Amino acid sequence: MPLMAQDQKSRKRFAIALHGGAGKSPTDEDAPAVMKAMNEALDRGVKELEAGGSSLNAVEKVIRFLEDDEHFNAGKGAAFNSADGHELDASIMNGKNRACGAVAAVRTVKNPISLARLVLEKSKHVLFTSDGAEKFADEMGDKIERVDNSSFNTERQKKNLKDARKRATRAVETPYYGTVGCVALDSAGDLAAGTSTGGITNKKPGRIGDSPIIGAGTYADNATCAISCTGTGEQFIRHAVAHDIHSRLAYLKQPLGKAVEEVLYKTLSAGDGGLIALTADGDIVMEYTTEGMARAAADSSGLREVKIGR
């Protein structure tokens, strides 16, 4: 549900929301660490925006922090694919001019969100994948930290892989997905959005979900809103979810809350996932149709909220 009334007229000086993935809620064992990380990530984003930093900077800093935390399925805690390796995806978009950058199936980039931003700023393209993305990272030199693919290994994801491989013969609980994302509004009135993920456990090599697809998992336009999605990527791609919500605001003049509700509950199927969204007035919506979604938000009026379940 919206955190602020949609008819509120005063625009916030800044606002920010982030998510740590929709799906099954974190285990009791992991919940404290997830809450701690969400709080610290929010603090980093708020600090950047309070100091007059750009929404792009806030989004990148928040996501980099979450990529470095193994409790999320992005960066350090990325899911294993069916070849026992990791392929990471990320995208970022500037609502001021709809400039965007994305990378998919990268294997040696410690922080894919930063490489995505360099695609935005240092290339004439939008999306690099696999070997092309790795080569672009080579060209960026010391701007991008590189690591061995095995550095993304975690015991949690090893267990998820083992469980996923059992699903062909028996039912196994859906895991906590752990994709991360952030949307922000800065004091200049500019929106930005970003998303980063390790994908689906046991995915086929080369599979790409919605997170690096502009218009599906990520979108930002100062005239409407900034959005970051999480869940079953194929569904978000099929329905161009992020762009659909933007279009509902742009053409149907729907309030953000209604647009999100119609897409999540009518266009998508129950359990497909969730999203965070933010307008240029600072209205925030964080909604999902799964068991839980780690999420947090804050703004210049004093709002602060951090939750990982219902």
Catalytic positions, written as ranges: 179
Distance CA 223, CA 225 (A): 7
Please tell me what DSSP assigns to residue 266: I
The H or E element spanning position 130 is: helix 130-140
Please tell me what DSSP assigns to residue 209: -
State the CB neighbour count (10 A cutoff) for residue 3. 18
Instruction: Judge contact between 199 and 87, C-beta under 8 A.
Output: yes
Distance CA 125, CA 20 (A): 28
Print the SS3 string covering 40-75: HHHHHHHHHHHCCCCHHHHHHHHHHHHHCCCCCCCH
Instruction: Judge contact between 178 and 72, C-beta under 8 A.
Output: yes
Distance CA 101, CA 127 (A): 6
Which residues, at least 6 apart from 51, have a Cβ–Cβ distance to it below 8 Å?
none
Crossing angle of the two packed helices 55-67 and 112-122, in degrees rounded to 10: 150
Instruction: Judge contact between 88 and 97, C-beta under 8 A.
Output: no
